[in-house]
Amino acid sequence: MNAVTRPEEPAQGGAGRIPQKAERGSLDARLLRRLLASVGNPPIEFVLAWTGERVSAPSIAPRASVRIADRSTLLGIVSDPQLRFGDAYTDGRVELDGDLIEFLKMIYRASAGAGGESIAHRMAGLLHRRRRNTLAGSRDNIHRHYDLGNDFYSLWLGPTMAYTCAYYPRSDATLEAAQIAKMDHVCRKLRLTANDSVVEAGCGWGSLALHMARHYGARVRAFNISREQIAYARGKARELGLEKRVEFIEDDYRNITGSHDVFVSVGMLEHVGRENYHELGRVVRAALGAEGRGLIHSIGRNRPAPLHPWIERRIFPGAYAPSLGEMMQIFEPFRLSVLDVENIRLHYARTLRHWLERYERAVDAVRSKFDESLVRMWRMYLAGSAAAFETGTLQLFQVLFTTDENNQIPLTRGYMYPT
């Protein structure tokens, strides 16, 4: 979806255009056609429930249909499509006929083709202030998302409880195999050994920290500010008899102390906020010894742009996905040297499709805990994220780095791909 199109302004690309016959109709229809034009005329059709009218872009055969329940919903969507479409879907005032992911991909693709996405995002960025990631702000932002309950997440994340992009060594790998392969891919990139001390920033439910200790013998200090996640991770460490090798610390990454062989952070950078990249870089450099290695895994963008406003407001308060250029603000001021960057966005599309499948299978259990609006909101979030990765709207970067004086670097990357 795209920016506000004010009724008195001609729609993008429409200045001086002669209205065609098909474009006539009600005021509602004209407003929707302007909206469609502003997002590049995707092949979708709106059905207005209160009149039965069907509206699509001129000369485009619709491939999906959206039913809008009432006029006030329509006006909301037209005035702020990026935020209000998702909200209307959540509230059940918008219904789709067809596959949700494919529908959202059509919008992303048309929108990117119209060059609208970045303008819309920039406007959205101006229109509202992102929630700040101060120490207290971060705690609140993280609590809102991650403390929905471990039971809720376990319904669709599967037994690893890994809530980040998996890595599929083969296209037919299961979600669980791919999550374990992701952990091994990260450990191999870091050349992890039993002699290594690791600090992890943002450890989720602890799966990577425990994997590093269990399968590589490393000692790990893992930081997280989500109380529920830390409690779960400590329980798992006890269950596996790994309490002596893995310490789960309920604290902010900014409070990391000590010198380590390895710094790792998988899926935390999205919550750090651009304004804190310099501070993160300082923390990373201070946490590493002279031959220290590190890896940051994060959702990213091909160019700087705010996160989709609906996602940032309703799902991930305070979140931001950086471009690779923006990520360099972490490394460049602090004598860190980037060794390797891998973009695995299609793996996240696959991961999200797997999560959504499990979510739908478990939807009755979700319904028994939460009301229907959460059920629908979460579906929109998972489907929208899959669509964003499949269309290249979002990227997933793994950045491997070391201190800039370290010459203990393998000649080739063959070590990442054991036969």
Provide the binding-site residues for a copy of itself, judged by CB under 8 A.
109, 112, 167-171, 302-304, 323-325, 328-329, 331-333, 335-343, 346-347, 390-392, 395, 404-407, 409, 411-414, 416-417, 419
Q: Which is nearer to a copy of itself, 5 or 385 (CB)?
A: 385
Mode of pairing for the β-strands spanning 64-68 and 44-48: parallel
CB of 332: closest distance to a copy of itself in angstroms? 4
Distance CA 223, CA 204 (A): 9
Q: Which is nearer to a copy of itself, 168 or 320 (CB)?
A: 168
Strand order in the sheet with 94-97: 54-56, 44-48, 64-68, 94-97
CB of 50: closest distance to a copy of itself in angstroms? 37
E-state strands within 49-98: 54-56, 64-68, 94-97
Q: For residue 418, how many C-alpha atoms fall within 13 Å in the half-sphere facing its CB?
A: 7
Q: Which is nearer to a copy of itself, 223 or 331 (CB)?
A: 331
Q: Which amino acid is at 112?
A: A
CB of 329: closest distance to a copy of itself in angstroms? 7
CB of 316: closest distance to a copy of itself in angstroms? 22
Distance CA 260, CA 242 (A): 19
Q: Which is nearer to a copy of itself, 171 or 368 (CB)?
A: 171
CB of 158: closest distance to a copy of itself in angstroms? 20
Q: Which is nearer to a copy of itself, 142 or 344 (CB)?
A: 344
CB of 157: closest distance to a copy of itself in angstroms? 21
Cβ–Cβ < 8 Å for 236, 288: no
Q: Which residues are within 8 A (CB) of 209 and not within 5 positions of it... i.e. 6 or more apart?
A: 198, 200, 203, 220, 222, 233, 246, 248
65-72 long-range Cβ contacts below 8 angstroms, 24+ apart: 65/96, 65/97, 65/98, 66/94, 66/95, 66/96, 66/97, 66/103, 67/94, 67/95, 67/96, 67/97, 68/93, 68/94, 69/93, 69/94, 69/95, 71/28
Q: Which is nearer to a copy of itself, 122 or 227 (CB)?
A: 122
Q: Which is nearer to a copy of itself, 101 or 225 (CB)?
A: 101
CB of 307: closest distance to a copy of itself in angstroms? 17
